[in-house]
Amino acid sequence: MCRGPAASYGTSVTSAKVQVNGVNLHYQQTGEGSHAVLLLPGMLGSGQTDFGPQLKSMNKQLFTIVAWDPRGYGQSIPPSRDFPPDFFERDAKDAVDLMQALKFKKFSLLGWSDGGITALIAAAKYPTLIHKLVVWGANASVTQEDVRIYNGIRDVSKWSEKVKKPLEEMYGLKYFAKTCEAWVDGISRFAERSDGNICQELLPDIKCPTFIIHGEKDPLVPRAHAEYIHKHIKGSRLLLMAEGKHNLHLRFAEDFNRQVEDFLQT
């Protein structure tokens, strides 16, 4: 079959579910490049709500892009989302097992916020499978200051309409509100551990090339977290975006996509 120019280059986004670890996990996939990339969303996130500009605009000749909905989020319901002490490890295993079920032998991880924490754990625990790692808005520990910040977003009725609306549409208000409260409780429990540890001890085990991006105006994740991750992953690179907030990959999508594509290609 004759192929036309770039427009026919696998630009459509497909959506499907696959059973992984007893759960039907939903994912979106686009592109047909040889470099597979998994996008990992944040709290209450999904491919649809968290990665529109990446699914639409990342280079589809170079990359095959997969965005997943972790269990209990997006369209990976049932089950309802819960937050046992090992929920990040559970997400890391689910994410890696999903990519293996989709027959990707090796892949890169792009993790935002909670998805960044999941990606750090996955890169440390499954080093032979991970090609490169990009994280932003992530943290390897939880401080008392973080707990104060999290409690500030516990009540979703106080969120801005812009952030709240797509999540309310996806989940309905009751599930959205209940899950956000459960998340605040779940992540705040890490602050009770020594050093507030989530995955600090795993960072030196990350051997793949790693790119950490931090928005200097991020109201949810203080800069010290990005600097700690950078310091403890040998050879990692840190980019500070002066105007970036927590959602810098959405707000500055063009710049973000270019920086990430350059890193993944080198």
Catalytic residue among 146, 218, 225, 249: 218
What is the CB neighbour count within 10 angstroms for residue 246?
Answer: 20
Of 44, 56, 47, 203, nearest to 117 (Cα)? 203
| 246 a catalytic residue | yes
| 97 a catalytic residue | no
Catalytic residue among 46, 76, 113, 188: 113
Catalytic residue among 26, 35, 225, 246: 246
Distances (CA, A) of 82 to 72, 79, 94: 7, 9, 14
Structure tokens at 165: 């609306």
The interaxial angle of helices 161-171 and 173-188, nearest 10 deg, is 110
| 86 a catalytic residue | no
Contacts of 224 (CB under 8 A, 6+ apart): none
- Direct distance between the N- and C-terminal alpha carbons of the chain, in angstroms, rounded to an integer: 33
Q: Give the C-alpha separation, 58 to 67, whole Å.
A: 12
What is the set of active-site residues? 113, 218, 246
